[in-house]
Chains A and B, each alone.
Chain A
């Protein structure tokens, strides 16, 4: 039972490049989330998926897109990376959206 698995763990991009962050959970959770963590700003919600087939914007969705591929997988895509997207990205999942989150180990992304 791996919980929430994120890949990659580290990534360096050049401005304008694109990439997809992958997230998968094996806990049969309905809801999945993408957060970014910046120093002094806590965790800010980028996008979430309350259930398979639905996605919604969070606090800071600009510059990102998501896909809920199936119940297990929720990916985050940066179409044209910018230095302001340098951050640590966490994927999380929860039961019914009502309960505490299980977080992935994070992706440290640097855009130069």
Chain B
């Protein structure tokens, strides 16, 4: 079935450094790729997304890249801050024949002050 693999499972960086989280998906019909941030004890919240007709999208310190041929997409956070510490989930969705979003297992990001 459909699968989204996410790496690494844990990432620790120094404040001010960059963080990169990578995901691979299996369903070639996927055409929408959101990223969610979940702080401890809270609900996941959408932070950025990208559609299959775009290769890169940026929003201030965060950016997402997509390689449809390789079925890879990545989240890049620059100039990390302690408040970026959270669990980040990638996901892939196809909107043909159903609306199922498949999530990766998550990356716990620690930003050390």
Contacts and interface: CB of A to CB of B under 8 A. Distances in A.
**A and B bind:** yes
Interface of A: 31, 33, 35, 40-45, 48, 50, 56, 58-59, 90, 94, 96-106
B99 A50 contact: yes
A56 to B, nearest CB: 7
A97 B105 CA distance: 21
Interface string B29-61: 000101010000011111001000000000000
Interface residues of B, number: 24
Given A100-B46, A103-B45, A43 B89 contact: yes
Given A50-B98, A98-B32, A98-B95, A42 B43 contact: no
A98 B105 contact: no
A104 B43 contact: yes
Q: DSSP class of A's interface residues: helix, strand, loop or mixed? A: loop
B43 A105 contact: yes
Given A42-B89, A43-B89, A106-B43, A101 B101 contact: yes
B101 to A, nearest CB: 7
Most chain-B Cβ atoms within 10 A of its Cβ — which of A43, A94, A97?
A43
Nearest to A91: B43
B106 A100 contact: no
